[in-house]
Every structure is written in structure tokens, then in C-alpha cells.
Structure 1
Amino acid sequence: MRPIEKALATIQQTEIFFPCQEDALEEAMDTYTTFYGVKLTDIKHSYGYVMINQQKVFLQSFKPKRFQATILLVHGYFDHTGSMSHLINFLTANGYHVWSYDLAGHGLSGGERVSIDDFLYYQKVLVEVSEKYVMNEYHPTYLVAHSTGAAISLNILTQQPHTFNKVVMLAPLVRSYAWHASIIGKKMIPPFIKHTKRYYRKNTSNKEYHSFVKQDPLQHHQVSIKWLDALFLWNQKVKVYSKSNQSVLVIQGDEDRTVDWRFNCAFIHQKLPGSNIILVSGANHQL
């Protein structure tokens, strides 16, 4: 067992709740932050589990000594807080207090691996984490969400607009790539099949990152059929969501082969007419 695997097992088995006030996880978390490349110089790192709808959610806070705003960072499918270390490091270095949590079934959080019954649960977690931990009356609060995280955010923005002062969506998911083929393919899968193999597309120009993902013990190597069903169901629901005047910055790569970015950008602009969409030439899904 690699040191990181031992550390992750210790964190999951100890189940210390947020904010951790004990030294029991110090060594394990040091291994975690080193492995994922999270820089903690002059950063107060708080972490631990919170219970939401009787399920464990692993929450982390990265707080510089001085900061200008608070950011809630929400990752995408298969990923977790550690996957976003480059962005966390950039934001904390530029004076932002960053909060992030692992989605249900992802990373260190509880739940069936990379699976969900309904995207509504994702929304409930985002709302509860925001209201109980992230919101600070003394600083503006921003939301930065990638892929599936952006899909979850779309629920909030259309139903509870202006919860956040500013919102940034990175490669947002509405429909996945080759959407209609996916629907047809799903119908051909026998009901007793619960997972299908994950194919590692070249979704970034960073070769080191691409290799690292395959070795990351918190990644999963199969796609949950239940999660696909939840995505299809959510797509039917989101069609009837009301428009919102919330202003949103969307950053999208034009070489993305993970999401149907042309449809998604048009859909988001329809639901959020004030959105500003920036296309990045040559960029993939992992911006």
C-alpha cells in the first residue's frame, strides 16, 4: 500500500468532523496535501466531515492570513478537492479564502462511488455547505464551479439567484459530448449492468496531469449507469427552469470532447441572459 493510500484510509476510517481540532489526522493530511500538491504556506487549513442528509461530506477550507473574498469551489464528475490543487493554490496566492468539498460518491465523501440517484442531492449539499460554512457577511462570496459542479450551480442560479456575488463556470456540463448517441447507447445496456468502463480521453494538454489522474487513488475507473440516468433526468428538469438575471462568467475550451459545449453555452445563455461566455482556443475540458 502506497503512503497516500494509507493516509486516505486513515482519514476515511477516523471520521473526524469539521473543523478537526485533533492531531489524529495531521500526518495523514500532510501526506494528502503533499501528494496532491496543495500549498499551505501561510494558509490555515481546516478540514473534516459534515453530515448532510445522513451522508458524510468531506469539507476543506484554505484560508490565507489576509483575503479579499471567499470562494466556494465545486469540482466535476470523477474529481475531488485534491484534483483542483492548481486552482486552489492560484486563488489563495491571490488573496482568496477557498472552500471546497468532495461531491457525494467522490473523493473522501461517503456514498456509492461516482453515483447519484438525483442531482437534487448535489444541490442540497451545495446549499447547506454555502449557508452553514461559506457565507460571510464581512466579505463577498463567489462561486467557481467546473463541469458537473457548474450543472449543480445552474440549479441554484435559476432557483435562488444572487446567492453568490459572482459566479464563474468552467467547462459547464448540461449535455455530455455525443449526447444523442449516449441516449441510444444507454437504452442498449442490459438492466443488470451497473457500471461501464471509463475511457480516459485526452481532456487536457498537460501530459503530467493526464498521467497523474490514472494513478490517483481517489479517481474511479468506471462510469455509473445510475449517474447517467440522473444526468438524463436532470436534463429534462432543467429545461423548465426559469431564467435568471444573475451575471455569470463562463470559460469554455473549444477542443472540449467531454461536454457538448456548443449546446451548453447556448443553453446557459438562454437561462442566464447576462452571462459572459469566453471561448478559449485549443483548450480542453480540464482548463
Structure 2
Amino acid sequence: MIASPFVKELPRKYRPNSTDEQFTEFLREGDPLQPERLSVAWVSAMRRWMPRLLAQEPNPLPTLILQGEQDLTVDWEWNLAILAKKFPNAEIHRHPEARHHLVNEADPIREVLFEALDNFVDGFVESARQ
């Protein structure tokens, strides 16, 4: 990042990244672990990591990918395309209403996603027994 020798942090912008309003309120105002500023070093590390991910060979490991289609935190459509290539045996479950914090979504969304997770784990365990 060009500004990194001069700028070490940037103001953080909060977006509602869960449909659970109490959780998003907690993130904005009550969670002492949420930083007010975003480290430029963190962004730089992510930028260095991306080419490493893209250079990796596909992995046949069965993988579960859960993705909210209302996620405004990441470019989820691009990510899913890359992850589908890197994990060709992935099960991908997209939820049309879910956002970024899937484990902190409203109960109806979380139940659907946890059911997908339970089914994946059950199938993985069952195949390991055979």
C-alpha cells in the first residue's frame, strides 16, 4: 500500500454484517475487542496472502463453504468462484438473506446454516466409518 510508510491505521467503517440487530449493535458499541481503526499492516498482509492462495493447487478434501448472499464485507461472489476451483469437492451453501457473521445471524438463518453444517459433519463421519 503506497500510504503505508506514512499512514499506519485507517478509520474503520461499520456496516451491518448480521441480520441480528442486537449483535450488530454490540459490535458497534459494546464489544471492547472491536478496534476503532483498521491496521494498514493487516490490509497489506491480506494483499500478500491472496497471490499465495491463487497459486495453490486444487485440494480434493471435502469442504463445506457457507456463504451469505447479503455479505457486504467481502467480495463473496469472486471468493466463491476461487474457492470452488481450489476445493473441487466442496459443498457450497448460499443463503439469500445471510450477511457476513453467519454464526451471529438471526435464529431462522442460523438454523438453516447449522443444519447444513450438521449434515456435512454427519456425512463426513459416516464416510469415515466405511
Task: Calculate the TM-score normalised by the size of structure 1.
Answer: 0.34
Give, in angstroms, the shift of residue 190 of structure 1.
Answer: 5.6
Partner of residue 213 from structure 1, selected from 24, 27, 35 = 27
Higher strand share: 1
For 1:226-280, what per-residue CA distance to the aligned partner results, in whole angstroms no more than 9, with x for missing partners? 0101000000111111111101111101110001101111111101100011110
Amino acid of the residue matched to residue 206 of structure 1? D
CA gap of 1:241–1:208, structure 2 versus 1, over 3 A, is same
User: What's the CA shift for 1:191?
Assistant: 2.2
Q: Secondary structure at the match of 2:66?
A: strand
Shift of 1:217: 1.0
> Over aligned residues, Cα RMSD in angstroms?
1.2
- Say whether residues 1:248 and 2:88 are aligned partners: no
Please name the residue that 1:235 is paired with: 50
Superposed CA offset, 1:73-125 (max 9, x none): xxxxxxxxxxxxxxxxxxxxxxxxxxxxxxxxxxxxxxxxxxxxxxxxxxxxx
Report the identity percentage. 32
Instruction: Give the conservation status (yes or no) of the 8 Å contact 2:4–2:40.
Output: no
Normalising by structure 2, we get a TM-score of: 0.74
Whether 1:282 and 2:97 are equivalent positions in the alignment is: yes
Amino acid in the other structure paired with 2:26: F
- Which letter does structure 2 place at the counterpart of 1:211? E
In the alignment, structure 1 residue 196 sits paired with structure 2 residue 10: yes
Give distance in 2, aligned partners of 1:251 and 1:237. 22
Higher percent of residues as helix:
2
In structure 2, relative to structure 1, the CA distance for the partners of 1:194 and 1:276 (3 Å cut) is: same
Structure 2 partner of 1:270:
85
Whole-angstrom CA distance in 1 between matches of 2:24 and 2:93: 24
SS class of match (1:200): coil
Partner letter of residue 208 of structure 1?
Answer: Q
Where in structure 1 do 4 or more consecutive aligned residues deviate above 2 Å? none
Find the aligned partners of 2:4 and 2:27 in 1 and give their Cα distance.
29
Distance 1:274 1:238 in 2: 17
2:41 aligns to what? 226
Q: Unpaired segments of 5 or more residues in structure 1?
A: 1-185
**What does 1:72-87 correspond to in 2, within 5 Å?**
none
The one-letter amino acid of 1:267's match is I
**Offset of residue 283 of structure 1:** 1.0
Deviations 1:206-229, CA, capped at 9 Å, x for gaps: 111011112111221111100101
Q: Aligned pairs, how many? A: 101
Q: Distance in 2 between matches of 1:204 and 1:236?
A: 29
Segments of structure 2 that go 5 or more residues without pairing to the other structure are 103-130
